[in-house]
Structure 1
Amino acid sequence: MRTFVTVDGRRIALYRAGEGSPPVVFLPGAGLVGLEYHNVVKEAGELTTAIAYDRGGTGWSDPADLPRSAAAVATELRAALRTAGIAGPYVLAGHSIGAVYARRFAQLFPADVAGLLFVDPGHEDVLRYLPPEVVAMNEQLKPTWENLPDLTEEQLSASRAALLRLYAEWPPEIRAPLVEHRLSNWRTGLVEGRNLEDEVYAELAAGGPLPDVPLIVLTAADPNPLWAQHLPPDLLARAHGGICSLHAAIAASVPRGEQRQIEGASHQYFHVQRPDAVRSALRDIVATLR
């Protein structure tokens, strides 16, 4: 069920299932929105209160100037939850850039965090864990933001078909508007992540350690599909090994941290491909807290 709360004059869309404590809050990856987590919200709602949402400037929330600081995103989320009457402390389940924002939330408001689930998270130390060739390739593949062409009708048609297949198990009343939203707002994720490497990562690096709460880091065992298109097998394996090592270090940064490498999952759609792994991790965190 979608509801709206107002934070600093901006409507923020929330999606809620279930009841109980501690509440689980899903923070979407860049370019994704709350409805794309319908499957895991529904399953988490069988354990406790489960929330997904659209950050300001994304999904069905009101527009906002993008990109934003991680502190602005974290502060907005905290206010939205409080306005909705959802009391903490929370289990924050952040995917990709959502894990970055969850970490900033935990730095700023440690008393409001009961547990953390990072799903294939980003981190400011990522370049130290990657082979130099991959770092160089990433630089070459970065788009020129000001000159991105519109999608052609052929590209739109192919993307629509792929998204409809991806979300085949979503209820029709959710799937259809979700797919059309993704097609008409595909630039949002690119714009939202523009300041990740040069501003947001610096913000987190200076923000201090995570609180001592249960943390599970889920690592996609399948290599990055973009890298797989451009790297020879040996270099691809080394790059993926670097990401696995980085995630192990994130888990080791807190006393109650754990990493789980999940087969059959890749970065962007981890929660669609392996919702059982997300559910299992949340179940374990909630059980520990209870």
Structure 2
Amino acid sequence: MVLLPGGGCVGLDLWPILDGVAQFATAVTYDRGGTGWSDRDVHLPRTLADATDELLELLRVADIAGPYIFVGHSLGAFYARHLAARRPETVAGLVLLEPAHEDLRAYMPKELTDSWDAFDPGAVSLEAPPQQVLDFYRGLFEQEMTAWPAEIREPLIANHVHPRWLQIGIREAANLPALNDEMRAAGPAPADIPTVVLTAMDVDPFKRAVSMGVSDELLQAEIDGKTRLYDDLAATFTHGENRRIEGVGHATLPMRRPDVVVQAVRDLLQP
């Protein structure tokens, strides 16, 4: 199993999943070039092809034989789906956690997409974020990672609230429209790839923090829209399923419910 973290995240953000799957299967994760603890000489943002070619080469060099179950969260699911479309022989199955999707906007109310369009990531300066903002985000991460081993938790949190990692997170996702086009151009993945989609059915504190001014009704409409999208995505696979996970949001699904991800991997490994 290969874990692919979301944008602004690193491999160790998925540590509970990695630890759980490692009890019964080979499990690996990594930081994409230019992110986390990987080589920072990589220019961001990147194409899907660049990132997935890099991943397959790393797996080859590490002598980890495929095909693989790719577990992708958010932006990481784009890379998993791109591999399934472009290199299906490398893919034994997909577990897609709150996956980024090229058709997401079509499932959303116009009021919500208008608010997204009003946001200009280029206008965001993270050179010196206010200390109260950093302290707030530190508290969110500490709450979610409180039971994690200190040697993993402490450097993760320290880096997540460092301006360098915050800037990297914004740069990595800065070409999202181009990634949408690249995913469409890749075409659909083969329908016979076993696939489980996991949909978070709640709004977590991370989502609340970036949704100030957005009504509860609109946030619920976003959940309803993505659920329909993920149902449709799962239906493109012969053995596809969208599992609704209550009590978690987009960011906290892999941290609070690693058990449902581990179970999805276990299910795909069963003959």
The two structures share one fold, judged by TM-score above 0.5:
yes
Aligned-partner residue type, residue 282 of structure 1 = V
- Which of 194, 202, 208 matches 1:214? 194
Shift of 1:47: 1.9
**Could you report, residue by residue, the CA deviation over 1:59-114 in whole angstroms, capped at 9, with x for unpaired residues?**
11101100000010110000001100100000000000000011111122110100
Shift of 1:37: 1.0
In structure 1, the partner of 2:226 is: 243
Stretches of structure 2 lacking an aligned partner (at least 5 in a row):
none
Q: 1:44 touches 1:279 (CA, 8 Å); kept in 2?
A: yes
In structure 2, the partner of 1:168 is: 146
- Which of 105, 114, 120 matches 1:136? 114
- Which of 235, 256, 280 matches 2:239? 256
Shift of 1:236: 2.7
- Which of 200, 212, 232 matches 2:215? 232
Runs of at least 4 residues off by over 6 Å: none
Give the RMSD, CA atoms, in angstroms: 1.6
Shift of 1:177: 1.1
Aligned-partner residue type, residue 113 of structure 1 = V
Equivalent residues, number:
264
Shift of 1:35: 1.1
Higher strand proportion (structure 1 or 2): 1
CA gap 1:228/1:144 in 2 versus in 1, 3 angstroms: closer
Q: 1:115 touches 1:213 (CA, 8 Å); kept in 2?
A: yes
Q: 2:121 touches 2:174 (CA, 8 Å); kept in 1?
A: no
Stretches of structure 1 lacking an aligned partner (at least 5 in a row):
1-23
TM-score, normalised to structure 1, is 0.87
Aligned-partner residue type, residue 25 of structure 1 = V
Q: 1:117 touches 1:282 (CA, 8 Å); kept in 2?
A: yes
Shift of 1:164: 2.2
- Which of 72, 87, 90 matches 1:112? 90
* Alpha-carbon distance in structure 2 between the residues aligned to 1:47 and 1:265: 26
Q: 2:81 touches 2:189 (CA, 8 Å); kept in 1?
A: yes
- Which of 180, 187, 199 matches 2:167? 187
Please say which of residues 137-146 and 28-37 is displaced more in the overlay. 137-146
**Could you report, residue by residue, the CA deviation over 1:140-160 in whole angstroms, capped at 9, with x for unpaired residues?**
234334645521223223322
In structure 2, the partner of 1:41 is: 18
* Alpha-carbon distance in structure 2 between the residues aligned to 1:145 and 1:233: 26
CA gap 1:142/1:264 in 2 versus in 1, 3 angstroms: farther
**Could you report, residue by residue, the CA deviation over 1:218-270 in whole angstroms, capped at 9, with x for unpaired residues?**
00011472475333333332222111000111101111111001001100121
Q: Secondary structure at the match of 1:206?
A: helix
Shift of 1:175: 1.2
More RCO (CA 8 Å, sep 6+): 2
Please say which of residues 102-111 and 144-153 is displaced more in the overlay. 144-153
TM-score, normalised to structure 2, is 0.92
Percent identity of the aligned residues? 39
